[in-house]
Structure 1
Amino acid sequence: MKSIFKSGALALAAAALPAVAYAHTGIGETAGFVHGFSHPISGLDHILAMIMVGILAFQLGGRAVWAVPTTFVLVMALGGALGIAGINVPLVEIGIALSVIVLGAIVALNIRASTAVAMGIVGLFAIFHGHAHGAEMPENAGGAAYAAGFMIATALLHMAGLGLGFLIARFGERQGAFVTRTAGGLAAVAGVGILTGLI
């Protein structure tokens, strides 16, 4: 059991390694696709939320495997357009932190929501993540290339979450469920740390 827990913790930590700071620093002059691609993978809050979306989709199974991540990416693009256009969305940073808490808690508690409900939840949080990406687009970046970059990076993080769920499931039903729920719990706790400014 300890080795299973250790493997799950290492997988979660490895996924979060690129995040040494929030993605919302506004620092950096890389334009276009590369900057857009790097934005989601440069912050712990984004990484954890994206991976939780993937794990949640895996937990729900069926059409949720593709529908939940696809919903997030498409609605995030809408949020990104709002950010690029300079249209204000209130409480963006709080919404992003809450996404980590809520998605982590859903995974930890293994809540069996319908696919439609899950799509609604991730879609709500996708607005905040997308707005953060769009609002911080460098002035010299092409909007389409920048958007493509952050959408592809997000989709890859979702795939990492799906892959992580698949790998954890190979431990066996009982052990896999324990590791998955532990990963969700750790993400939720991290989300509280982000929300309170402790992380």
Structure 2
Amino acid sequence: MKKTLTLVALSSVSGLALAHGGSDTGAHHGFVEGLLHPFTGLDHLAAMLAVGVWSAGSAGRRWIAPLAFVAMLLIGALLSQAGLAPPGIETMIAASLLVIGALLLAPRRPPLAIATALIGGFALFHGAAHGQELAGGPALAGMALGTALLHGLGIALGTALRRQAAWLPRATGLGVALFGLGLLA
């Protein structure tokens, strides 16, 4: 009975894990729909907040990785809309959670340029997923703003976590990495 209830509970929320089912290709056209789109899937939400939490540890350069993410997200969306979507989008989004979580979990921070390149590379896949569902400039502009807002919230969260205890951002990284691992399973 316990296994059955667990299975039912997990399957009832599984649709929340992915922001992009692909069945409504290009169905979202407006700015507000684009703005809200990054908030609608736990995978994107976790990745964008985690990028912000990680970036909070980059004193004076907090917006470098988030800006790279937004730029590459837009490039990925535009490539996807042009029919150049890379293969394995869902797998790479799950892998991004694992890697960004590992960046937070790591006892030593990698150089900012390396971490930003990793984060930006994964953002291409997040953008490709969003690009399959969003259509038009207003929706893409909304998506970029929504993503930047999530990064900003992540930076605020990361700053607050660091003030409470140095281990809290690392614990957040563990949670994000485990979420990514679960999506890969």
**TM-score grouping bracket, smaller chain normalisation:** 0.7 to 0.9
2:76 matches 1:79: yes
| C-alpha RMSD over aligned residues | 1.6
One-letter code aligned to 2:173:
G
> Is contact 2:28–2:133 with CA below 8 Å preserved after alignment?
no
Note the 1:9-158 alignment, pairs <5 A: 20-26=16-22, 29-63=27-61, 65-137=62-134, 141=135, 143-158=136-151
How far did residue 193 of structure 1 move?
Answer: 1.0
Percent of pairs with identical residues:
41
Residues 73-99 of structure 1 show CA distances to partners (whole Å, capped at 9, x for unaligned) of 011110010111121311111110000
2:156 matches 1:159: no
Equivalent position SS for 2:80:
helix
One-letter code aligned to 2:167:
F
> Is contact 2:76–2:85 with CA below 8 Å preserved after alignment?
no
How far did residue 106 of structure 1 move?
Answer: 1.0
Distance (Å, rounded) in 2 between the aligned partners of 1:27 and 1:164: 33
Q: 1:186 maps to which residue? A: 175
5+ residue gaps in structure 2?
A: 1-14
Which TM-score applies when normalising by structure 2?
0.85
Number of residues of Structure 1 aligned to a counterpart in Structure 2? 169
Distance (Å, rounded) in 2 between the aligned partners of 1:30 and 1:94: 23
Distance (Å, rounded) in 2 between the aligned partners of 1:162 and 1:38: 19
